[in-house]
A = this chain, B = another copy of it.
Amino acid sequence: MLQILPVEGIAEIRPGDVLADVIVAACGPQLQHGDVVVVTQKVVSKAEGRLVAIDPLDPRGHQPLVEAEARRVLRRRGDLTMTETRHGFVCANAGIDLSNVDAGWAALLPVDPDRSARGIRDRLRALLGIEVAVVVSDTFGRAWRRGATDVAIGIAGLAGVADLRGTPDALGRPLQVTEVCIADEVAGAAELVMGKARGVPVAIVRGLDPVFLREASVAAEIVRRHHEDLFR
């Protein structure tokens, strides 16, 4: 059985806050070896000071910021700019979002979300003496399907993609789908207890198969390279 627990009682995060300390203050004694701690990008960006003031007189709003942050613009339609970020993520508006940020400010994505995840994991280990995995999650739209879902933009101690090549199916024959993005499924599961409007930026996923707990990286495992992508 998997359990997904929202971490309540986390106050507004400010630049310089140490997220692992905040998490320990909110739920430290409940954390267990093998838990996956999912932290939304917004609070990671805030803690890391990735906040930029938006010129209130610019009628383009935060669009200049989107252009500056994007490595490439893939599509435009109306207010929507589909971009590729420097990390290689394909998402709206270079991942810049104004929700849950003070008026007049925008939050950029962390510079290196895998590193952000590792930092939180390392400090949780130091503080609590237990080994947990950490996922930094963000809400991205998709091609072909309506509605955004939460996905992993940074991971530490959790598989990005589980490689099932060579694994037999339940009937003993080779599996056809051989790569499952565990980290994105964990991020999406956590979103179900966090919500956008409830101010719950952290959730714990407990009971995940330990086979998925290993050194890993979104950048290395999940970001699909240009030359492998049929839809970019």
A148 at the interface (CB under 8 A from B): yes
Whether the pair A145, B184 counts as a contact (CB closer than 8 A) is yes
What 6 A-B pairs have minimum CB-CB distances, sorted nearest first?
A147-B181, A170-B199, A189-B189, A143-B231, A147-B161, A185-B188
Bound Cα distance from A113 to B130, whole angstroms = 44
What interface size band does chain A fall in? 35 or more
Task: Give 17 new A-B contacts, CB below 8 A, not counting A146-B181, A185-B189.
Answer: A1-B3, A2-B4, A74-B230, A82-B231, A89-B144, A99-B176, A142-B142, A143-B143, A144-B229, A144-B231, A145-B184, A149-B184, A167-B197, A177-B196, A184-B188, A185-B192, A231-B231
A145 touches B231 (CB 8 A): no
A145 touches B196 (CB 8 A): no
Report whether A170 and B198 are in contact in the complex, using a CB–CB cutoff of 8 Å: yes
Q: Min CB distance, A151 to chain B, in Å?
A: 7
A33 beta carbon closer than 8 Å to chain B: no
Residues of B with C-beta under 8 A to A169: 99-100, 196-197
What's the Cα separation between A100 and B170 when bound, in Å?
Answer: 6
Q: Are A1 and B193 in contact (CB under 8 A)?
A: yes
